[in-house]
C-alpha cells in the first residue's frame, strides 16, 4: 500500500515538474514531496505578472495586505499613502517578496497632486494597469452630533479621493485599451449603519461611481468593480470599543472578523484575468454579515 502511494506521488511530482518547468530543491530527492507541492503552489501564483498597480492607502491595513499579495502575484506595485514611514515599511516588505515596487507620498484628496503622481508612475513604468481605490477614513458620530467638518473630511477622502484617482489614471488606461479599477465600498454602504452618516454616504456613492464607470469605460477595455468588506481586523476597527467589536463578531454568521488578506484576495481576483467578464458589480466579503 505504502509502495503504491509512493509510486503515485512520484508520478505526480514528475508531472508537476514537467508541466510547470520546476527544478527540485537540492535536498528533495522526490521525497519529501510536500516541499515540491509548496513550490508548485508558489510558482503558479503569478496572476498579475507584468501589471503595474497603484494601491491607495497601501501603507497599512487592507491596503498593505493588498500590496504584499500583488507583489506575490507578480505585479509591480506603487503605494500611494499619506503615511510615509508606514508606507516605506510596507514597501520594504514587498521588496522582500519581489523587487521593483515604489512608495509615493500622495494625498488622494488633492487632484493636482494625484495627477502629478499618476504622470510620474507612467513616466517611470510606462503604464498603470490596475487602480485599487482603497484609501478611506471614518469620523463617526450620530447625525445630531456630526459636525460639518467630520462630514467633509470623510467625503474628501472616501469619495473625492476615489474620483481624483480615477480621473487622473483612466486617460492612461484608455490609451492602452486596458484597465482594472477596484473601489472599496463597505457592507454599511449597502445597509446603512448607526453613527456613520458621512461614511455610509461615501461607501454607497462608491458603488454608484463603480456602476457608472463600468458603463462609461467597458468598451474601452476597462473593468470597474467594487468590494464591500464586512468588519475587518485593521486599525480602523481596532479604534472601536471592545464591546462593539464583540457585537460585530456575534452578528457575523462566520463568527469572526475578516482579515486584511480576505479582502486582498478578492482585489487580486478582480484584478486578474480570471475576472475578465466581471464589471459593474459590488462583491460582498463579509462572512455572511449582510444576510
Ligand X SMILES: NC(=O)c1ccc[n+]([C@@H]2O[C@H](COP(=O)([O-])OP(=O)(O)OC[C@H]3O[C@@H](n4cnc5c(N)ncnc54)[C@H](O)[C@@H]3O)[C@@H](O)[C@H]2O)c1
Q: Which residues are the active-site residues?
A: 199
Cβ distance 126 to 50 under 8 Å? no
* Closest alpha carbon to 202 in 152, 158, 142: 158
d(CA 127, CA 108): 19
* CB closer to ligand X out of 39 and 109: 109
d(CA 65, CA 38): 21
* Closest alpha carbon to 271 in 156, 125, 186, 173: 173
d(CA 88, CA 76): 15
Cβ distance 130 to 52 under 8 Å? yes
Spell out, one character per residue from 201 to 240, where the chain touches ligand X: x when CB under 6 A holds, - when not: ----------------------------x-xx-xxxx---
61 binds ligand X (CB under 6 A): yes
90 binds ligand X (CB under 6 A): no
* CB closer to ligand X out of 39 and 60: 60
- Please tell me the count of residues contacting ligand X according to CB under 6 A: 30
* CB closer to ligand X out of 16 and 57: 57
Task: State which H helix or E strand residue 116 sits in.
Answer: helix 111-125
60 binds ligand X (CB under 6 A): yes
CA distance readout (Å), 84 to 58, 87, 145, 214: 11, 5, 32, 32
24 binds ligand X (CB under 6 A): no
Cβ distance 236 to 138 under 8 Å? yes
157 binds ligand X (CB under 6 A): yes
The piece of 6-14, 27-35, 70-78, 133-141 that touches ligand X (CB under 6 A) is 133-141
DSSP 134: -
The piece of 22-30, 45-53, 77-85, 210-218 that touches ligand X (CB under 6 A) is 77-85
* CB closer to ligand X out of 98 and 153: 153
Cβ distance 86 to 107 under 8 Å? no
| Residues from 93 through 112 that contact ligand X (CB under 6 A) | 106-109
Select from 57, 179, 205, 287 the one that contacts ligand X (CB under 6 A): 57
* CB closer to ligand X out of 16 and 267: 267
Query: In angstroms, what is the minimal distance from the CB of 193 to ligand X?
Result: 10
What residues line the site for ligand X (CB under 6 A)?
56-57, 59-63, 80-83, 106-109, 134-137, 157, 161, 184, 186, 229, 231-232, 234-237
Amino acid at each position: 500500500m505504502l509502495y503504491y502511494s509512493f509510486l503515485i506521488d512520484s508520478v505526480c511530482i514528475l508531472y508537476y515538474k514537467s508541466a510547470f518547468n520546476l527544478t527540485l530543491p537540492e535536498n528533495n530527492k522526490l521525497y519529501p514531496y510536500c516541499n515540491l507541492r509548496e513550490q508548485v503552489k508558489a510558482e503558479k501564483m503569478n496572476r498579475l505578472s507584468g501589471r503595474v498597480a497603484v494601491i491607495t492607502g497601501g501603507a497599512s491595513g487592507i491596503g498593505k495586505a493588498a500590496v504584499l499579495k500583488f507583489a506575490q502575484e507578480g505585479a509591480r506595485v506603487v503605494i500611494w499613502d499619506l503615511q510615509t514611514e508606514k508606507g516605506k515599511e510596507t514597501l520594504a516588505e514587498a521588496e522582500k517578496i519581489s523587487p521593483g515596487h515604489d512608495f509615493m507620498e500622495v494625498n488622494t484628496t488633492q487632484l493636482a497632486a494625484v495627477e502629478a503622481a499618476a504622470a510620474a508612475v507612467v513616466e517611470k513604468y510606462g503604464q498603470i494597469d490596475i487602480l485599487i481605490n482603497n484609501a478611506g477614513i471614518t469620523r463617526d458620530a450620530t447625525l445630531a452630533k456630526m459636525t460639518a467638518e467630520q462630514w467633509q473630511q470623510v467625503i474628501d477622502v472616501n469619495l473625492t479621493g476615489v474620483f481624483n484617482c480615477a480621473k487622473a489614471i483612466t486617460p492612461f488606461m484608455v490609451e492602452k485599451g486596458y484597465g482594472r479599477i477596484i473601489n472599496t465600498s463597505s457592507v454599511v454602504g449597502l445597509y446603512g449603519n448607526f453613527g456613520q452618516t458621512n461614511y455610509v454616504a461615501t461607501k454607497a456613492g462608491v458603488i454608484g461611481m463603480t456602476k457608472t464607470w463600468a458603463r462609461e469605460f467597458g468598451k474601452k477595455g476597462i473593468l470597474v468593480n467594487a468590494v464591500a468588506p464586512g468588519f475587518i481586523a485593521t486599525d480602523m476597527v481596532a479604534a472601536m470599543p471592545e464591546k462593539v467589536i464583540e457585537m460585530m463578531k456575534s452578528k457575523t454568521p462566520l463568527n469572526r472578523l475578516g482579515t486584511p488578506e480576505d479582502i486582498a484576495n478578492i482585489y487580486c481576483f478582480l484584478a486578474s484575468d480570471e475576472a475578465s467578464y466581471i464589471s459593474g458589480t459590488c462583491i460582498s466579503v463579509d462572512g455572511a454579515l449582510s444576510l
